[in-house]
């Protein structure tokens, strides 16, 4: 499924870059692909995900990452055409979730609880145009989970 939108606002990157993630298949066929441009509407774009978390991000990406993700392919791949606004990625769930993102700069960004409650959120204050590969993970170990991924220029979950 492809969504074509056009994008709006600005914040600061809260998550820090992680390790190399050399074992991961960045750019492999994702579960969902989106193209978004600065000023996109509606904002946020949300995607409901059903996950089977089984790979430990702390060993396969970086020891600074937490949680278990579905696999080497991203849950969602976003091509973002940047403008003057931030790009905010967050996930919401009844479970304790994490985010792992490979950004266009080739760096890995990971977060556990920067969103509301136990929800993860990564804010790119000055995003660059390019591919953002996104994995939503389960903090407490392998197993099934559901989550809502939110992509915004205005706010996080």
Give the pLDDT score at 30.
52
Pairwise CA distance, residues 81 & 131, whole Å:
9
Instruction: Please identify which residue in the block is written with the tokens 């600061």.
Output: 12
Q: Quick one: pLDDT band at residue 28, thresholds 50, 70, 90?
A: very low
Per CATH, which fold does 32-152 belong to? Jelly Rolls (2.60.120)
| pTM as predicted | 0.81
pLDDT in tens, 38-73: 999 999 999 999 999 999 999 988 888 999 999 889
pLDDT in tens, 65-94: 999 999 889 999 999 999 999 999 999 999
Pairwise CA distance, residues 53 & 68, whole Å:
5
Pairwise CA distance, residues 24 & 89, whole Å:
20
State the DSSP H helix or E strand holding residue 109, giving kind and residue range, or none if neither: strand 108-111
Alpha helices of 19-137 — where are they, by DSSP H? Answer: 57-60
């Amino acid at each position: 499924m492809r969504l074509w939108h056009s994008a709006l606002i600005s914040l600061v990157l809260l998550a820090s870059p992680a390790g190399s993630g050399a074992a991961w298949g960045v750019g492999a066929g994702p579960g969902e692909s989106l193209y978004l441009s600065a000023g996109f509407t509606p904002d946020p774009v949300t995607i409901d995900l059903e996950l089977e978390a089984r790979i430990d991000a702390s060993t396969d990406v970086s020891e600074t990452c937490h949680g278990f993700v579905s696999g080497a392919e991203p849950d969602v791949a976003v091509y973002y055409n940047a403008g003057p606004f931030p790009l905010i990625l967050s996930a919401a769930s009844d479970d304790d979730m994490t985010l792992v993102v490979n950004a266009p700069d080739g760096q890995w960004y990971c977060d556990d609880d920067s969103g509301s409650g136990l929800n993860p959120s990564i804010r790119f204050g000055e995003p660059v145009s390019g591919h953002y590969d996104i994995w939503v993970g389960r903090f407490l170990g392998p197993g099934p989970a559901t989550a809502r991924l939110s992509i915004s220029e205005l706010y996080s979950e």
